[in-house]
């Protein structure tokens, strides 16, 4: 009997206490590495704060300056927005049909396709950029070779023309994430009852009709989820732009065409020592992401009401 009471009170022995102990690393880690720096970052954003420390409380001046007189900030928002649409959004137009094809019960070599579609997703951005920078080479790259020699078009200055720079980054994003989104959609498609398609087939519905009438409506929650991820991720592109366009020294190339908002805040924080301003950029970026998600949700709801 005394042994039992000992067990009840001993650390990690008690069934009541144990779950709190087990989850405590997360709580502690969130407080230290999550909440505290977030609070710190809010504070910083209201100060003129350089690498030497805080200089002056400036209230909303960092924010106001960024939104009104900063020569770069609004353009970085535009760059991030463009990349979100053409880099992260566009890929779903490829991924969905590919998933429907791949989910066809009669397709052979499914494992091979899934593996090939998965590999870009697990490859580091640096590795991808190093390969694509060769493909994008103006005079000797494969892309311009195909454009000029096969299609008889003009070569594109992939890394020197502002529009082409955004296109290059978008191409890399599409290349990396189309396959991954395809696989998520395939997993979603597998949860759809096959008998629905069999019934539709008996009724004489074509494959395209089946896709529009059965697949898309049932896949809506997953499409909403993947689009949410694309909005969050697409607006925060940094690695691709940073490595492809020569880091902090070139700041996104000609006319800063590849300078995304995340790139700008990293440069403020870690190259120019403007920590307060950088923090304000981070919060504005966060707010924009939240607004975009609210907008996305509103559109989603309206869609639901329309189809209901």
Within 195-234, the residues that bind another protein by CB under 8 A are 207, 222, 225-226, 229, 232
Least distance between another protein and beta carbon 118 (Å):
6
> Considering only CA atoms, which of 89, 49, 59, 122 is closest in space to residue 277?
49
The whole-angstrom separation of Cα 304 and Cα 258 is 36
Question: Nearest-CA neighbor of 162 among 236, 83, 235, 93?
Answer: 83
Tell me the C-alpha distance between 167 and 234, whole Å.
Answer: 14
Phi then psi for 176, rounded to 5 degrees?
-75, -35
Least distance (Å) between residue 94 CB and another protein: 8
Binding-site member from 119, 153, 199, 212 for another protein (CB under 8 A): 119
CA 91 and chain centroid, separation: 12
Beta carbon nearer to another protein, 40 or 78: 40
| Member of 6, 13, 60, 163 binding another protein (CB under 8 A) | 13
Candidate ranges 5-13, 66-74, 75-83, 160-168; the one touching another protein (CB under 8 A): 5-13
169 binds another protein (CB under 8 A): no
Partners of 48 in the β-ladder = 56
Nearest residue to 114 (alpha-carbon basis) of 5, 190, 219: 190
Region 275-294 residues binding another protein, contact defined as CB under 8 A: 275, 278-279, 282-283, 285-286, 289
Tell me how far, at minimum, the Cβ of 18 lies from another protein, in Å: 4
Q: Which is nearer to another protein, 151 or 306 (CB)?
A: 151
* Span of 33-41, 62-70, 81-89, 158-166 interacting with another protein by CB under 8 A: 33-41
Determine if 70 is a binding residue for another protein (CB under 8 A).
Answer: no
By CB under 8 A, is residue 34 in contact with another protein?
Answer: yes
Nearer to another protein, 169 or 275 (CB): 275
Q: Report d(CA 18, CA 276) in Å as an integer.
A: 42
CA dihedral 49, 52, 55, 61 (to 10 degrees): -20
């Amino acid at each position: 009997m005394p042994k039992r009471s000992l067990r009840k009170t001993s650390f990690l022995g008690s069934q009541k206490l144990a779950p709190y102990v087990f989850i405590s690393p997360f709580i502690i880690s969130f407080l230290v590495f999550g909440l505290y720096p977030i609070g710190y970052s809010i504070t910083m954003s209201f100060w003129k704060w350089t690498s030497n420390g805080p200089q002056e409380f400036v209230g909303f001046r960092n924010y106001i300056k960024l939104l009104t007189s900063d020569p770069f900030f609004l353009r970085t928002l535009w760059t991030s927005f463009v990349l979100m649409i053409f880099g992260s959004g566009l890929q779903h137009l490829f991924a969905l049909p590919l998933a429907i094809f791949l989910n066809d019960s009669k397709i052979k070599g499914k494992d091979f396709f899934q593996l090939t579609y998965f590999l870009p997703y697990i490859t580091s951005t640096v590795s991808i950029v190093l390969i694509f920078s060769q493909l994008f080479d103006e005079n000797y790259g494969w892309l311009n070779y195909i454009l000029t020699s096969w299609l008889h078009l003009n070569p594109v200055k992939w890394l020197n023309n502002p529009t082409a720079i955004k296109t290059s980054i978008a191409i890399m994003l599409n290349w990396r994430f189309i396959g991954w989104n395809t696989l998520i959609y395939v997993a979603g498609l597998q949860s759809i009852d096959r008998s629905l398609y069999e019934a539709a087939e008996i009724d004489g519905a074509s494959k395209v009709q089946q896709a529009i009438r059965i697949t898309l409506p049932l896949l809506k929650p997953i499409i909403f989820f993947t689009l949410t991820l694309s909005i969050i991720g697409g607006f925060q592109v940094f690695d691709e732009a940073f490595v492809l366009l020569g880091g902090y020294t070139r700041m996104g190339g000609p006319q800063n065409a590849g300078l995304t908002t995340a790139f700008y805040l990293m440069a403020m924080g870690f190259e120019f020592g403007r920590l307060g301003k950088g923090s304000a950029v981070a919060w504005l970026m966060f707010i924009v992401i939240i607004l975009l998600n609210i907008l996305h949700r509103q559109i989603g709801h309206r869609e639901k009401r329309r189809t209901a």
